[in-house]
Amino acid sequence: MEDVPVIEEIVRERTQHILFRGISARFGTVPEDIRQKIQTISKTEDLERLLTALFTIQSVDELKSLVN
């Protein structure tokens, strides 16, 4: 099916968007280095792992260690 890669890309982009909103809500502005790292993540599962971690991490430094 040709639509599968397109759908996967849409899901990945939406997950990134939700992740950025969550980071902003928890910590204020998303640091540019974190934004760039997240934008390079190609697997939706990895983005979902970060989204889940956002509920328990306590600082931007913890988030940085997760995206590196």
Segment 5-14 shows an average pLDDT of: 93
What is the per-residue burial (b if ≥16 Cβ within 10 Å, else e) of 1-19? eeeeeeeeeeebeebbeeb
Cα(22)–Cα(4) distance, rounded to whole angstroms?
27
**Residue-level length of the chain:** 68
Task: Give residue 62's pLDDT.
Answer: 95
Per-residue pLDDT, 68? 86
| pLDDT for the residue 3 | 76
pTM over 0.85, yes/no: yes
- Count other C-beta atoms under 10 Å from residue 62's C-beta: 12
For residues 51-68, average pLDDT? 94
